[in-house]
Amino acid sequence: MEYSEVRLTWHLARKQKERIGKYSASLALHLMTDRVLARTRSFMQAWISPTFSIPLSPANMTVYSCEETCVRASRGHTLGCVNLSGSVQTCPGVPWPVIPMSRREKTSVEATSTPFADWVTTTGRGLGYQTDAQLAAAIGVQQSTVTRWRSGSQPSIKHLVSLAEVFGMKISPLLAMSGHVPPELLNEAEAPTPPVTETVRRIQESPLSERQKAHLFDYWSRRLADERERLWQIMELIEEAEGTDKRTVGDRLQQALLTLTHSNITSHVVTLLSNLFALEASPRRRSAGKGRLGQTVKG
């Protein structure tokens, strides 16, 4: 049977595996697969890959995805899924949040993507707003509002005005992209090209496959998040040191050396190389002869 959609209700058992904690909760998910694996509504135990993280927030209806996820039914049958996507929500009576998540956000808007959502995501990240929370704070709205935009909800005109001010642009393109006004009725309906850094541009223009580029983007996002967090801590350290005596400053510097010099770069590089070589080692890649690992992307 060809491409289809499967709706399952998962029960995550209280079990620890890899770096992702499992707590009792029900997640309503749509499984988008290339084959029908099951069509049922039952409780299952789900082992989710450590590369899959779900940033939870109130009223969160964003679509998420991961790759090579393994779902094991209660009878012991294993169901393999290549692409997993769906809307995530807590079930009644479960404390918030239901799942401790990694700081890395992996969102996919394959099922509900709109031109406006794609453009806002790319532009926001290009301007330094890497998370929904950061962009929401700049605009002056709740994080859940930005999350709904990413999942296809239409923003209000009031919010579009704030967004135009933050992005430093005219509101006409936003009115057209969000569907408030037909583009033909506006003089300047074309949105400006989202800003990209030199590193992002090199990855985009490289001859690598789309999956290889995706792994490179993922690696670069995690490195930026690490360094951004380190920079915020240094700034806070300097602000707190103002007006204090030298001994206190020395103590804080000594403590900072223990935390600020820690880096996850080794883990990030190992994950990146493992993912890239896993693609090269796959039968499809070997038969196609399209390996390009010898071509590097400079940061």
In sequence order, what are the residues at sequence separation of 6 or more whose Cβ sits closer than 8 angstroms to the Cβ of residue 100?
21, 23
pLDDT, tens digit (0-9, with 9 covering 90-100), for 148-170: 887 778 888 999 999 989 888 88
Residue 178 burial (C-beta neighbours within 10 Å; 0-12, 13-18, 19+): buried
- Between CA 229 and CA 236 the distance in angstroms is 11
Superfamily classification of domain 115-185? lambda repressor-like DNA-binding domains (1.10.260.40)
Secondary structure E strands in the chain = 4-11, 15-17, 20-22, 26-33, 45-47, 63-72, 78-87
Answer yes or no: are the C-beta atoms of 171 and 161 closer than 8 Å.
yes
Q: Packing angle between helix 265-281 and helix 210-241, nearest 10 degrees?
A: 180
Name the 3-class secondary structure at 248.
helix
CB proximity list for 120: less than 8 A, separation 6 or greater = 135, 146, 149, 150, 163
Instruction: Report how far residue 239's alpha carbon sits from residue 226's, in angstroms, rounded to the nearest whole number.
Output: 20
Average pLDDT, rounded, for the chain: 60
- Structure tokens, 257: 């050396």
- Where is average pLDDT lowest: 86-95, 122-131, 188-197, 246-255? 86-95
Specify the higher pLDDT residue, 41 or 117.
Answer: 117
pLDDT in tens, 21-46: 332 222 333 332 222 223 222 322 33
**Parallel/antiparallel/unpaired status of strands 78-87 and 26-33:** unpaired
* Cα R_g (the chain), whole angstroms: 22
Can you tell me the distance from the alpha carbon of 281 to that of 35, in angstroms, rounded to the nearest whole number?
23
pLDDT at residue 64 tops 70: no
Long-range contacts of 132-138 (CB under 8 A, 24+ apart): 132/55, 132/57, 132/105, 135/166, 138/166
Query: What is the residue extent of each domain of the chain?
Result: 4-87, 115-185, 199-288
Residue 16 pLDDT: 27
> What is the rounded average pLDDT of the residues 109-114?
47
* Secondary-structure breakdown of the chain: helix, strand, coil percentages, each rounded to the nearest 5: 40, 15, 40
pTM, 2 dp: 0.37
